[in-house]
Amino acid sequence: MTVVASTRGELAALRSQVVDSAGGGSIAVVMTMGALHAGHAELIRRARDRARVVIVTDFLNPLQFAPGEDLDKYPRTFDADLQLCREERVDLLFAPTPDVIYPHDDQLVRVSAGPVGDVLEGDSRPGHFDGVVTVVAKLLHLTSPDLAYFGQKDAQQLWLIDRMVRDLDFPVEVVSVPTVRDEAGLALSSRNVYLDASDRSAARALSRSLQAGAHAAQRGAESSLAAAREVLAAEGGVRLDYLELVEPFSFASVSPDYSGEALLLVAAFVGRTRLIDNVRLRLGSGREEE
């Protein structure tokens, strides 16, 4: 049975109860902004594979939305979220309001995402990653997990959270989970509910562009980027924000002669909806990716 906490006191009390009921063991957390879908369900299943207790946080964090972004219209589906948690045997759902997480109205002291937080997504969404790592730090303190599960679709976010945990000595293991996609390759996202049938068809060009870039990776960075751009340019419903190849351990842009593991990242608008995706590939490997 999934129990629900909405305050800090309820979280502390219910966490103790579910841990005692489980007879101890490791605790995992899956952090979400609600509007749960099959991708979140996969995170929960992976957490359940290793942990005796699984906690899900359902919090729409205002700190990571800039003025003019979609905070007000972001999908809110708590009843459906709770049902999914029950189906996936989540032990505790923590669903606080902003005043619970930020009780002093203004979060004057925040965690800095550092220089990697200012590029790519951070350049397109200034301050976004400071808001992300700040709320993740707070939720890690409040839930005190041994394991924290995050999806690889948000590759830059995942890198920053893992680096924060290591740099600030949080006693938790960050576990990454591969991106979950629909039958045509579109990465699952809560924002996909904004897409109509035409938009959804156009949005699948993002994953096709990444696969084209991966297949051309043997010929080097410039060929990989060119192949990906060609797919995106052919889809009239997509407006590109950025398409970049970066080193996976630093998020620095690769040089034209770079050889080795890389991440190909894309962000684009489909209609009025902004989507992101990525693929890991090997540049200059002398063979095409499968």
188-244: pLDDT as tens digits: 999 999 999 999 999 999 999 999 999 999 999 999 999 999 999 999 999 999 999
Tell me how far apart the terminal alpha carbons of the chain are, to the nearest angstrom. Answer: 42
| 191 close to 184: Cβ distance less than 8 angstroms | no
CATH tag, 190-283: 3.30.1300.10
| Residues 6 or more apart in contact with residue 63 via CB below 8 angstroms | 102, 107, 110, 130, 131, 134, 135
How would you class 281 by CB atoms within 10 Å of its CB: exposed for 0-12, middle for 13-18, buried for 19 or more? buried
Q: In the chain, which stretches have pLDDT less than 50? A: 287-290
The answer to whether residues 164 and 136 touch, using CB atoms and an 8 Å cutoff, is yes
Query: What's residue 144's pLDDT?
Result: 98
Confidence at residue 286, expressed as pLDDT on a 0 to 100 scale: 55
Question: Per CATH, the architecture of 3-177 is what?
Answer: 3-Layer(aba) Sandwich (3.40)
Whether 78 and 58 have beta carbons less than 8 Å apart is answered as: yes
C-alpha distance from residue 233 to each of 215, 239, 268 (Å): 17, 9, 11
Tell me, what's the pLDDT at 290? 41
Catalytic residues, by residue number, are 40
Packing angle of the helix pair 221-233, 197-215 (nearest 10 deg):
160
Please give the pLDDT value at position 289: 43
Helix (H) or strand (E) holding 150: strand 147-151
Q: How far apart are CA 217 and CA 287, in angstroms?
A: 8
Residue among 228, 239, 237, 233 nearest 278 (CA) = 228
Distance CA 233, CA 248 (A): 26
Where do the structural domains in the chain lie, given as residue ranges? Answer: 3-177, 190-283
What is the predicted pLDDT for the residue at 68?
Answer: 87
CB atoms < 10 A from the CB of 111, how many?
20
Q: What is the pTM of this model?
A: 0.95
For residue 137, the one-letter residue type is A
105, burial (CB in 10 Å: exposed 0-12, middle 13-18, buried 19+): exposed
Task: Tell me the sheet residues that pair with 267.
Answer: 242, 276
* Helix (H), strand (E) at residue 209: helix 197-215
The CB-side HSE value for 40 (13 A sphere, CA atoms) comes to: 27
Strand partners, 181: 187
User: What angle is formed at CA 256 by the lines to CA 253 and CA 259, rounded to 5 degrees?
Assistant: 85
